[in-house]
Structure 1
Amino acid sequence: MSVYNVILSGGVGSRLWPLSRKSHPKQYLPLFDGKSLFELTIERNLCVADKLMIIGNKENDHLSQEALDKFDIEYTKIVEAVPRNTAAAIAFAALALDENDILIVTPSDHLIEDKDAYKEAMQKAIELAENDYIVTFGVQPTRPETGYGYIEHKGDKVLSFREKPNHITAQDFIEQGNFLWNSGMFCFKAKVLLKELKKFEKVIYETSKTAWKASVNGELDEALSLQIPSNSIDYAVMERSKKIKVVPAGFIWNDLGSFESLYDYFQLNGHDIDRNGNMVIGTDVYTSFVGLQNCIFVNTPTANLILQKEYSQEVKNIYTHLEKNNSSLI
């Protein structure tokens, strides 16, 4: 039995446009003392996993490879021809390994601090996974966040999964005190996950298995991949299985999925803001805000973004609009 860190690296990060784009998603941006979130993910899991597996898509594969070349470690890669969401991606990883191998599945675009607490949470999860549970990690909320899903729990027992709430509902979750942010990280044995996927989403299981069997050196066939229904692992398995446990995590976690979360992180780490809470990202050119509060100015060579911090979740709408119009700006 081996413990694999399986890193999902196929995301686009549309809520961080124009910093994050299809051609260079947020997980590869060297925003953290010259390192990317992808590199930090590899580093923090070296102490909890025996082996490394990267799952990405053909558009991002060269960026993953550039980062991997900085490390003197062995790894395997699965390259998706087309994205089919996390249920298929995780199925590919489980199908590629021995049935008793344990997978620690982590997104490539999360920022996690406090390595000791992280290692402790992972060790608890591995113990549960050895006993045939599928483990998710819940993070203690620090604010009524509307951009995350929530897990209602009692100890390590999951009572319910909740979708991204509105602000009032999120505030209610915080006040109740037994809700955790859903981190999107998982731990399980390969065979346990596959058994549950087959039970609840047989078509995803069968088509993923067919596509994996036909793969060559970890690269998947496009035609076979397109036959796989697109669904998240949350909907396909986590919200339906009776084998789920949650590890309430003590580490500091941020998915940096919006400019509001990026603003908060930068502010904590000494990034300049003016007296009205305005921040500039991406340029050293002198920029002044007049009559504005809590705004963010994002500068890139081909596009600028100006937003009220509290409207960060709506940046995705800009990305969607540009995508529909086949804009080169994404």
Structure 2
Amino acid sequence: MSRILPIVLCGGSGTRLWPLSRKTLPKQFAPLLGDKSLLQLTLERLRLLSTDVMCVAAEEHRFLVQETTQAAGVGGSQLLEPSARNTAAAMAAAALLAEPGQLLLFAPADHHIPDPDKLAATVRSGVAAAQAGYIVTFGVVPTFPSAGYGYIRQGAPLEGSAGEQGARRVDAFLEKPAADRAAQMILAGGHFWNAGIFLVQAQVLLSALAQHAPDILESCRRATARPTRDGDFIRMDRAAFESCRSQSIDYAVLEKSEQVAVVPFEGVWSDVGSWNAVAALHPCDEQHNRISGNGFAIDATRTFIHAPTRPVVALGTRDLLIVDTPDALLVAHSDNAEQVKDAVSLLTTRGRSQATRHRRVPRPWGAYDSVDDGERFAVKRLTVKPGAKLALRMHHHRAEHWVVVKGAAQVLCDGTATLVRENESIYIPPGTVYQLGNPGKTVLEIIEVQTGGYLGEDDVVRFEEGSEPDSTQAAAQRLIA
């Protein structure tokens, strides 16, 4: 069996799952099922095929992906997109960086497939067709006439060994149909939901792009001509990649190519595209209520509650979706689940930050949570990973007061290193060159109180290694040591 390299496509904004999914934390990174994100579940599934995985992700999400790959127990690299350009460009860039004969399995990061063994077996059954020069897609056997999914209509079986495992030619890709048309297709048989999972040799995909979307291929070829590598991160040329037009692989290649095959997948699958879909992933009680977290339903029917932190009580409700987060609450009728994106648009036009940003912001060293803010003050909770440190920095307009609530902090202030223990505090005046580090083996937690006339996140000067004063550099070395 040829080695398969899974490539996880981590793009997408996921506005239909607001307020949990936002631009800074799209649905693939949000903990939708227990404490695991859809990306982590995807990586754990693909681990059955390979522990070496490439993720194609936005530059701003690179640390979220890095954190998740570590939690999932997989290694590999991240191909960073300077801007979103849809699946055709993402797949083209990944294929250009692979060996020509490498089998690439492209999979979305935000789908739910609870039977990883069945998926792995289905993917392996498509290897012969992929090696024979086909782009192999995996069609989900439909369980109901959905008008929300695209469909694949199968054609004749492939010839020879390529068709031994049930692979057939794709006769057509069909747009999302009306409900009655979807019912007709299911009754007719031979139609599958399009899950957007593809197995293909790198050279086969590149040849198809050269034939059907040469402009996309050329832009990506220029973007990947001289990639830069920083640890696990692979960066492309920004200008070249951003010159690429945005189009899905379905429209750019698959609907035009005659070398596309389909292998049926008979397992459970969901694209988790709405809060109704999320609700369906949870068990229901006798009144058909579904609860995630700290939700309570009293005399309620067909109500979904997502309450990861504080208690949320639904009393006498019917057919509601209730989604709670620390800084925004959604209450919607289940019939209006597809209109959540309109709420995001409204909040965006009103200039509300909750439309796109969460309170908690991940950073390579850990995260910060904006607890409270007002005139001339802001309160944050910092968590710093064991052995991690913030970059050496300075603020012009704000002072910072830190109280260590868990662990011990090593703090560098204008060349003087200090160890600040639990229940101790330290004051960082404006204009101080400072650095925070966690020398311990557990997570460091700090309550930070900012004061001053301007508290914007852009009031920061970060120093590159070697650019700070000699005394500060020497103390920084002692701090790191």
TM beyond 0.5: yes
Q: Partner of 2:307 in structure 1?
A: 282
AA matched with 1:57: A
| CA deviation vs aligned residue, 1:4-63 (integer Å, no higher than 9, x gap) | 000011222111011101111111122323221111111111222363111100111110
Structure 1 stretch 156-165 or stretch 128-137: which is displaced more? 156-165
Higher strand share: 2
Question: For 2:26 and 2:67, how far apart are their aligned partners in 1?
Answer: 14
Mapped pair 1:303 → 2:319 = no
Mapped pair 1:241 → 2:257 = yes
Mapped pair 1:4 → 2:25 = no
TM-score (norm 2): 0.65
Q: 1:213 to 1:303 in 2, by over 3 A?
A: same
| CA deviation vs aligned residue, 1:211-268 (integer Å, no higher than 9, x gap) | 1113312112322222101000010111111000011102211111111111111136
Q: Is the 8 A contact 2:48 2:117 kept in 1?
A: no
| Partner SS for 2:57 | strand
Structure 1 stretch 67-76 or stretch 295-304: which is displaced more? 67-76
Question: For 1:320 and 1:168, how far apart are their aligned partners in 2?
Answer: 31
Structure 1 stretch 242-251 or stretch 314-323: which is displaced more? 314-323
Q: 1:53 to 1:298 in 2, by over 3 A?
A: same
AA matched with 2:100: E
Q: Partner of 1:328 in structure 2?
A: 353
Q: Partner of 2:235 in structure 1?
A: 219
Q: 1:324 to 1:152 in 2, by over 3 A?
A: farther
AA matched with 1:36: S
Q: 1:319 to 1:172 in 2, by over 3 A?
A: farther
Q: Is the 8 A contact 1:158 1:245 kept in 2?
A: yes
Q: 1:131 to 1:282 in 2, by over 3 A?
A: same
Q: Is the 8 A contact 1:16 1:258 kept in 2?
A: yes
Return the match for 2:203 from 181, 191, 201.
191
Query: How far is 1:168 from its partner?
Result: 2.9
AA matched with 2:178: N
Return the match for 2:182 from 143, 162, 170.
170
Q: Partner of 1:88 in structure 2?
A: 89
AA matched with 2:185: F
| Partner SS for 2:227 | coil
Mapped pair 1:264 → 2:280 = yes
Question: For 1:246 and 1:312, how far apart are their aligned partners in 2?
Answer: 31
Q: Is the 8 A contact 1:135 1:187 kept in 2?
A: yes
Which residues of structure 1 form unaligned runs of 5+? none
Question: For 1:314 and 1:165, how far apart are their aligned partners in 2?
Answer: 19
Q: Is the 8 A contact 2:139 2:194 kept in 1?
A: yes
Question: For 1:224 and 1:326, how far apart are their aligned partners in 2?
Answer: 32
Q: Partner of 1:255 in structure 2?
A: 271
Q: Percent of aligned positions with the same letter in both sequences?
A: 34
Question: For 1:166 and 1:231, how far apart are their aligned partners in 2?
Answer: 24
Q: 1:39 to 1:275 in 2, by over 3 A?
A: same
Q: 1:185 to 1:96 in 2, by over 3 A?
A: same
AA matched with 2:333: Q
Which residues of structure 2 form unaligned runs of 5+? 158-167, 292-296, 357-481
Question: For 1:320 and 1:221, how far apart are their aligned partners in 2?
Answer: 31
| Partner SS for 2:78 | strand
Q: Is the 8 A contact 1:2 1:51 kept in 2?
A: no
Higher helix share: 1
Larger Rg: 2
Q: Partner of 1:135 in structure 2?
A: 136
The two structures, once aligned, show a CA RMSD in angstroms of 2.1
Query: How far is 1:325 from its partner?
Result: 5.5
> Number of matched residues?
329
Structure 1 stretch 248-257 or stretch 30-39: which is displaced more? 30-39
Query: How far is 1:170 from its partner?
Result: 2.4
Q: 1:201 to 1:263 in 2, by over 3 A?
A: same
| Partner SS for 1:288 | strand
Question: For 2:281 and 2:75, how far apart are their aligned partners in 1?
Answer: 32
Return the match for 2:215 from 182, 193, 203.
203
Question: For 2:80 and 2:42, how far apart are their aligned partners in 1?
Answer: 18
Q: Is the 8 A contact 1:297 1:304 kept in 2?
A: yes
Whose relative contact order is higher, 1 or 2, with alpha carbons under 8 Å and at least 6 apart? Answer: 1
| Partner SS for 2:313 | coil
Return the match for 2:338 from 301, 304, 313.
313
Structure 1 stretch 20-29 or stretch 91-100: which is displaced more? 20-29
Question: For 1:52 and 1:223, how far apart are their aligned partners in 2?
Answer: 26
Query: How far is 1:125 from its partner?
Result: 1.6
Query: How far is 1:323 from its partner?
Result: 4.3
Question: For 1:50 and 1:195, how far apart are their aligned partners in 2?
Answer: 28
